Amino acid sequence: MIDRLLSGDRPNSRPLALVLIVIALALAFAPFLFPGTKSLDTAARICIFIVLVASYDLLLGYTGIVSFAHTMFFGIGAYGVALSLSALGASFTAILVGVLGGTAVAGALALAIGLFSLRVKAIFFAMVTLAVASAFAVLVSQLSTITGGEDGLTYRIPRVLTPAFKLLDMRILDVRIDGRLLAYYLVFVSALVLFLGLLRIVNSPFGRTLKAVRDNAFRAEAIGYRVIWYRTAATVLSACVAALAGALLAIWIRYTGPATTLSMEIMIDILLMVVIGGMGTMYGAMIGATLFILAQTYLQSLMGAAEHATGMLPLIPDLVAPERWLMWLGVLFIVSVYFFPDGVVGRLRSRG
Amino acid sequence: MTREDPAGQAPPVEPPVLETRDLTIRFGGHVAVDHVSCAFQRGTLTAIVGPNGAGKTTYFNLISGQLKASAGEVRLNGETITRLSVAERCTRGIGRAFQLTNLFPSLTVRENVRLVVQARANRGFDLFSRADSHVELTERADHVLSEVNLLQKRELAVSALPHGDQRKLEVALMIALGPQVLMFDEPTAGMSVDEVPVILDLIRDLKRDRDRTILLVEHKMDVIRSLADRIIVLHNGELVADGDPGEVMRSAIVQEAYLGKAPEPAPKPGAEETAHG
């Protein structure tokens, strides 16, 4: 059963399996294990970023394509839902229209970029995606009558998914069974299905072909695979999944703006998550996204506590002051890339 | 060559499988392959010889499509394929083995062969089934691996394989592909003397299947003598000799253009020559 869900792609390492099970269970029961608005929000973001990072891994880790347009596709999905909810009102029909529209636009744009520029050398493709993504971000911030510009869009979502909606009048483990909980499980289940879907794709004959293209595109072509079609298909698939992740984010935070979906910072975060987790493994996305989002969310408060605790000592309180959290995040990355060049997954697998 | 010759002796009734007509490629001012017209019949093995830089590998690249011809055409079964991509030519039946090992290094030996089997079965765009559920593809790959005696090493990554085994795997990919036209570019290059016969036996087996047309670039005279039905000689990109092996090797132009370059072997038919890279 589990083997079928994972498409036969076992973690192949006891510690890795353990870590993955802990993450999956923690996310599955997050509302009950970690009550509170902030922790639930963190859990939902982790779910969304696992999908986003996994879809990027399909491109970078499995096909060997470097793209800087992944946040653009993420943003297209988010804006699809945001625009549709703003225009059509808070209904599930609006969500459906937004999801389908956003995904279709993302797929079509990826197809165009792929066919036009995947023939050229990898570095040019990276540059083209960078240019298109920057142009798109500028466009979104300029077309403020439609997109809300830099302020973004705030909209209502169906009442069933808001805290105002009570599903049951009772509490389970002291947690209110409300619309917010439903929204979390919508995000969780969608993310789970998308992740398992990606896992299936990378273990399909198509996924094996992508690895061949990554390893030796020249030879893949010489045994009869049209490399350009495979690269383009991977780009389109990965863009569609990124758009779906964007749609989930739009539903979850009820706001869509350039800073939450389109910024280059998020693109770099995605890259780091893939590399830290381990490229070309899919499971790396789970670990990378979890570690990164936890650090991003809790490092500051952790450091605040450390500053208080070390208040008596010289120098140390200054070093661990909360406003230096970015520096420590940087140190963490350097250390992790140095000690885990194949990512956390690669490291755990090589240990057995 | 396709013209019927009613008065001819031993008429080649069958049209050639592969044919190049005035095939030419220029790199700037340098003409690497210069109006080479040649036809290859079904069931034959043709050795292509010539000194380094004569254009042998370039000629192969033009036929398999890695390079685009400046002029002239390549025809397969009477149809021109000059404008087709590498993958399309491969699908139509042109298989190419490479001189420098050119495999999928991070994948296993079995996966390398399985990918070729999968390409041939046209399953590359199957997104939603599990690759390991296609048992028939894996079995076919294992069958090919047992033919080249690599079955025990099937789970090794190619990058961990010794050079000789990588050359064997290269031939295995060709067996798995099973194309109409097979091109081998120095299949025994860099192999130890005792490993060479293994590769030659594999090529001989492929030749025994009379449907195939094999082209072989090779430097080792003993290899050519034991396998080739015909030799063509390229020199400075031009086709300078073509014919029966014994005849071509005795011709003055080969003595000068090709064998003159390797001074040690006196080209007496039947003389013992050791393998050298």
Q: With beta carbons less than 8 A apart as the criterion, state whether A247 and A77 touch.
A: yes
Identify all chain B residues contacting A205, using CB atoms and an 8 Å cutoff: 118, 123-126, 129, 131, 134
Helix and strand tally (H, E) in chain B? 9, 10
pLDDT classification of B12: cutoffs 50, 70, 90: low
Residue of A nearest to B84 (CA): A226
pLDDT classification of B190: cutoffs 50, 70, 90: confident
Q: How far is CA B227 from CA A42, B140, B205, B220, B242, in A?
A: 69, 27, 11, 11, 16
| Count of pairs with CB atoms under 8 A, one residue in A, one in B | 96
Lowest-pLDDT range of A78-82, A197-201, B14-18? B14-18
Statement: residue A99 has pLDDT above 80 = yes
Question: A212–B105: do the CB atoms touch at under 8 Å?
Answer: no
Statement: residue B20 has pLDDT above 80 = yes
The pLDDT, as a whole number, for residue B256 is 67
Question: A212–B126: do the CB atoms touch at under 8 Å?
Answer: no
Distance CA B81, CA B63 (A): 9
Across B79-91, average pLDDT? 95
Distance CA B184, CA B217 (A): 6
**CB neighbourhood size of A37 (10 A):** 9
pLDDT classification of B260: cutoffs 50, 70, 90: low
DSSP assignment of A17-83 equals HHHHHHHHHHHHTHHHHS-SHHHHHHHHHHHHHHHHHHHHHIIIIIT----S-HHHHHHHHHHHHHH
The pLDDT, as a whole number, for residue B266 is 43
Min distance B108 CA to chain A CA atoms (Å): 11
Beta-sheet pairing, B79-80 with B71-76: antiparallel
Lowest-pLDDT range of A14-18, A321-325, B34-38, B68-72? A321-325
Q: Which residues contact A269 (CB under 8 A, 6 or more apart)?
A: A292, A296
Say what the ipTM of the complex is: 0.87
Please state, for a pLDDT cut of 70, what percent of chain A lies above it.
100
pLDDT classification of B259: cutoffs 50, 70, 90: low
The pLDDT, as a whole number, for residue A55 is 98
Lowest-pLDDT range of A116-125, A155-164, B167-176, B201-210? A116-125
Question: B134–A215: do the CB atoms touch at under 8 Å?
Answer: no
Min distance B167 CA to chain A CA atoms (Å): 15
pLDDT classification of A334: cutoffs 50, 70, 90: confident
What tens digit of pLDDT does each residue of A253-293 get? 999 999 999 999 999 999 999 999 999 999 999 999 999 99
- In this complex, is the C-beta atom of A233 within 8 Å of any C-beta atom belonging to chain B? yes
Statement: residue B7 has pLDDT above 70 = no
Taken in order A25, A266, A76, A110, the sign of the CA dihedral is negative
Helix and strand tally (H, E) in chain A? 18, 4
CA dihedral A336, A339, A343, A347 (to 10 degrees): -140
pLDDT classification of A156: cutoffs 50, 70, 90: very high
- In this complex, is the C-beta atom of A225 within 8 Å of any C-beta atom belonging to chain B? yes
Topology given in CATH for the domain delimited by A2-350: ABC transporter involved in vitamin B12 uptake, BtuC (1.10.3470)
Distance CA B174, CA B97 (A): 7
Statement: residue A221 has pLDDT above 90 = yes
Mutate to test the interface with A, among B86, B102, B133 (most CBs of A within 10 A): B86
Min distance B116 CA to chain A CA atoms (Å): 6
Distance CA B166, CA A305 (A): 58
Across A96-107, average pLDDT? 97
Q: Which residues contact A87 (CB under 8 A, 6 or more apart)?
A: A94
Question: B107–A211: do the CB atoms touch at under 8 Å?
Answer: yes
Please, what is the Cα angle at A130 between A127 and A133, to 5 degrees? 150
pLDDT classification of A133: cutoffs 50, 70, 90: very high
Please state, for a pLDDT cut of 90, what percent of chain A lies above it.
66
**Most distant CA pair in chain A: distance in Å?**
69
Residue of B nearest to A232 (CA): B125
Phi and psi at residue B249, in whole multiples of 5°? -70, -25
Q: How far is CA B52 from CA A128, A329, B164, B171, B235, in A?
A: 40, 56, 23, 23, 9
Q: How high is the mean pLDDT of chain B?
A: 86
Residue B252, SS3 per DSSP = helix
- In this complex, is the C-beta atom of A62 within 8 Å of any C-beta atom belonging to chain B? no
Min distance B8 CA to chain A CA atoms (Å): 39
Residue of B nearest to A5 (CA): B130
Identify all chain A residues contacting B128, using CB atoms and an 8 Å cutoff: 200-201, 204
Number of residues written out for chain A: 352
pTM score, whole prediction: 0.89
Residues of B with CB under 8 A from a CB of A: 64, 66, 85-88, 90-91, 96, 98, 102-107, 111, 114-116, 118-120, 123-132, 134, 173, 177
Mutate to test the interface with B, among A62, A119, A208 (most CBs of B within 10 A): A208
Q: With beta carbons less than 8 A apart as the criterion, state whether B154 and B139 touch.
A: no
- In this complex, is the C-beta atom of A201 within 8 Å of any C-beta atom belonging to chain B? yes
The pLDDT, as a whole number, for residue A342 is 86
Min distance B85 CA to chain A CA atoms (Å): 8
Please state, for a pLDDT cut of 90, what percent of chain B lies above it.
65
Question: A219–B128: do the CB atoms touch at under 8 Å?
Answer: no
Question: B90–A224: do the CB atoms touch at under 8 Å?
Answer: yes
Question: B126–A204: do the CB atoms touch at under 8 Å?
Answer: yes
- Which tokens is A287 given? 């670990």
Phi and psi at residue A237, in whole multiples of 5°? -60, -45
Q: With beta carbons less than 8 A apart as the criterion, state whether B254 and B54 touch.
A: no
Distance CA B227, CA A145 (A): 76
Identify all chain B residues contacting A216, using CB atoms and an 8 Å cutoff: 102-105
Nearest CA to A53 among A329, A337, A291? A291
- Which tokens is A302 given? 């952790």
The pLDDT, as a whole number, for residue B276 is 41
The pLDDT, as a whole number, for residue B270 is 41
Distance CA A158, CA A90 (A): 5
Q: If one looks up domain B13-86+220-264 in CATH, what number appears?
A: 3.40.50.300
What tens digit of pLDDT does each residue of B86-132 get? 999 999 999 999 987 799 999 999 999 999 999 999 999 999 999 99
Please, what is the Cα angle at B183 between B146 and A232, to 5 degrees? 85
Residue B8, SS3 per DSSP = coil
Domain ranges for chain B, please list them. 13-86+220-264
The pLDDT, as a whole number, for residue B274 is 40
Taken in order A233, A236, A238, A241, the sign of the CA dihedral is negative
pLDDT classification of A299: cutoffs 50, 70, 90: confident
Identify all chain B residues contacting A212, using CB atoms and an 8 Å cutoff: 104, 107, 115
Which residue from B104, B126, B177 is facing A212, i.e. has the nearest CB? B104
The pLDDT, as a whole number, for residue A296 is 87
The pLDDT, as a whole number, for residue A171 is 77
Q: Which residues contact B177 (CB under 8 A, 6 or more apart)?
A: A223, A224, B90, B95, B116, B119, B120
Q: How high is the mean pLDDT of chain A?
A: 91
- In this complex, is the C-beta atom of A8 within 8 Å of any C-beta atom belonging to chain B? yes
Residue of A nearest to B117 (CA): A223
- In this complex, is the C-beta atom of A205 within 8 Å of any C-beta atom belonging to chain B? yes
Residue of A nearest to B87 (CA): A224
Identify all chain B residues contacting A7, using CB atoms and an 8 Å cutoff: 130
Statement: residue B273 has pLDDT above 60 = no
